[in-house]
Amino acid sequence: MEVDVNSGSVLDRIVEARRASIAHRQRVLPEPVLKMAVKSAKPARDFAAALSRPAVNIISELKKASPSKGLLREDFRPIELAKGFENAGAAALSVLTEEEFFQGSAKDLRDARKACEIPVLRKDFIVDAWQVWEARAIDADSFLLIVAALSDAALTELLGLGRELGMEALVELHTRAELDRAIGVGAKIIGVNNRDLKTLKVDLGTSFELIKAIPDDCIAVCESGIRDGAEIKRLRAVGFDAFLIGEHLMTQADPGAALAALIASAQ
């Protein structure tokens, strides 16, 4: 699904649609049922540790489509992609589970995680505790929280619930004000998204500016717009620990080979 990026906030429209979807799914699968499912979930893998290695740490994203570009990969096979990325040296995976705008699913995440041994992040628009319980129930090891979509109270609640369930969230932001909020609620993994979710425009300058204010004891993740090893070298030099890359890899004939080449060029 392609979205008209000039008609209001893309983020607002996706979140509104997500809230409607959650309301329906909560009636079908109440939270108490999810809590029972969590008891049989596999132990969470350490997402923070995977991003802290003294290496080129890439979070390879499995993303079938995007709001701005539409379908990215017609031949989308999560199991093969997960294996290929792990073999190529990915530190972790990110799997889109939002159905309407990104054509993702919980099944994609389950399949990818079963196929590999590295941590898997649930990439979605999480606005309710029910989704955090669902993330752990489907064996996610971490999940995304977008500062622009949440109040400080909600950020604090969802961060805390994730930790209770053994998951440290990736807290994503786009501005200095959002970074201050993330630090204020105690985020430990901070992602700077170079793509403005209100306009979908990408600017790597966002990362170079905001890294100056990210505390040294936080894990800094650069997201969106990275296409070559030279950019990764520059970003590592200023303090980024890990890099989330999706669209560049998803549009390659062999995503695993593309990742291996990217890591080699960033050494």
- Residues annotated catalytic, as ranges: 61, 63, 123, 172, 193, 223-224
Q: Which residue, chain included where needed, has tokens 């992040």? A: 121
Alpha-carbon dihedral sign for residues 170, 197, 183, 160 = negative
CA distance 239 to 242: 9
Contact 127, 153 (CB under 8 A): no
* 188 φψ region: left (φ > 0), alpha (ψ -120 to 50), beta (else): alpha
| Tokens at 10, concatenated | 């893309």
Nearest CA-CA partner of 135 in 155, 156, 164: 164
